[in-house]
């Protein structure tokens, strides 16, 4: 791959991502150096400047022990949990304070409680009540249109460097999807109206396929697992109706619930 295809190609898009102390370099000095070469370098398209991160309300300080290594996080937490927390708290407009209480609560209540719970209870329900297979392919056009619109909205947010906004909108739709499932009460329909129950579960499976695709820029591991569970995938940034629902028999929760005792244990490590 030729580096000039990126730096001298008008069709490429260049993002400069940095902390706010580097704004003068990335906005004035670096573009000036590119122009001074007179070698047809493409100038940056997007300047994305983040605020600072503090730890438990204090500035990072290695001498005081008030810092966390990426190695420590990766050794103790799932990579998607780390990526989610820092993405949903992207400090674009103000400093972001990393606290273990907020980190653990975010995983338990949002990543596990909303997305992980939606995926698990839908797919487990289909496996338990329908032996992992659905006959329905009756799509809810209202939901389908919302998903199509979500691709445009989130794609635009990511393209403009507003990754936090994009992720937030995906999770708003996940909340909507959980409500859709609860209000339709498929556990009752399974006894009273099997066809209607399968329709609801088919649409929920379709939501999972597409929301999982929208989450790929943010969650790099669990999204692969969901594709295995569904026996279906999407390989481009566009809406797709799920194929015949034939699930994997081996479905486990995507995320684990962390005991809140961890919060104090982690804080003690900081003090050391």
Beta bridge partners of 50: 19
Mean pLDDT of 231-236: 96
Instruction: Find where tokens 């005792």 sit.
Output: 261
Question: pLDDT by residue (tens digit) across 236-254?
Answer: 999 999 989 999 999 999 9
Residue 1 has pLDDT above 80, yes or no: no
> pTM for this structure?
0.93
> CA-CA distance, 92 to 96, in Å (whole number)?
9
Kind of pairing, strands 96-98 and 15-19?
unpaired
Q: How far is CA 168 from the centre of its chain?
A: 9
* Residue 272: predicted pLDDT: 63
> CA-CA distance, 126 to 246, in Å (whole number)?
9
Percent with pLDDT over 70 in the chain:
99
Residues in Cβ contact with 31 at an 8 Å cutoff, skipping those fewer than 6 apart = 43, 44
Residues in Cβ contact with 214 at an 8 Å cutoff, skipping those fewer than 6 apart = 150, 151, 154, 170
Dihedral angle sign, alpha carbons of residues 177, 178, 182, 186? positive
- Is 2 in a helix, a strand, or coil? coil
What CA–CA distances, in Å, run from 190 to 10, 126, 248? 56, 10, 21
Domains of the chain in sequence order: 1-50 (no CATH), 101-230 (1.10.730.10)
Kind of pairing, strands 53-55 and 96-98?
parallel
User: Burial, 127: exposed, middle or buried (Cβ in 10 Å; 0-12, 13-18, 19+)?
Assistant: middle
Question: pLDDT by residue (tens digit) across 90-115?
Answer: 887 788 899 999 999 999 999 999 99
């Amino acid at each position: 791959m030729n580096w000039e295809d990126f730096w001298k190609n008008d069709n490429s898009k260049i993002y400069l991502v940095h902390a706010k102390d580097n704004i003068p370099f990335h906005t004035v000095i670096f573009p000036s150096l590119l122009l001074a070469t007179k070698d047809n370098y493409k100038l940056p398209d997007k300047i994305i400047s983040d605020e600072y991160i503090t730890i438990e309300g204090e500035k990072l300080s290695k001498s005081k022990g008030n810092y966390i290594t990426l190695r420590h996080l990766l050794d103790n937490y799932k990579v998607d949990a780390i990526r989610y927390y820092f993405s949903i708290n992207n400090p674009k407009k103000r400093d972001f304070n990393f606290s273990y209480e907020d980190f653990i609560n975010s995983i338990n209540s949002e990543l596990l409680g909303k997305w992980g719970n939606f995926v698990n209870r839908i797919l487990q329900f289909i496996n338990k009540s329908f032996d992992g297979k659905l006959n329905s392919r009756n799509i809810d056009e209202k939901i389908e249109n919302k998903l199509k619109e979500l691709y445009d909205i989130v794609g635009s947010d990511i393209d403009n460097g507003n990754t936090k906004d994009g992720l937030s909108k995906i999770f708003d739709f996940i909340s909507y999807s959980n409500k859709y499932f609860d209000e339709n009460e498929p556990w009752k329909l399974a006894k009273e109206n099997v066809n209607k129950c399968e329709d609801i579960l088919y649409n929920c499976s379709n939501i999972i396929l597409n929301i999982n695709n929208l989450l790929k820029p943010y969650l790099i591991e669990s999204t692969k697992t969901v594709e295995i569970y569904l026996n279906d995938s999407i390989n481009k940034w566009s809406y797709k109706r799920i194929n015949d629902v034939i699930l994997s028999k081996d479905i486990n929760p995507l995320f684990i619930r962390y005991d809140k005792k961890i919060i104090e244990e982690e804080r003690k490590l900081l003090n050391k």
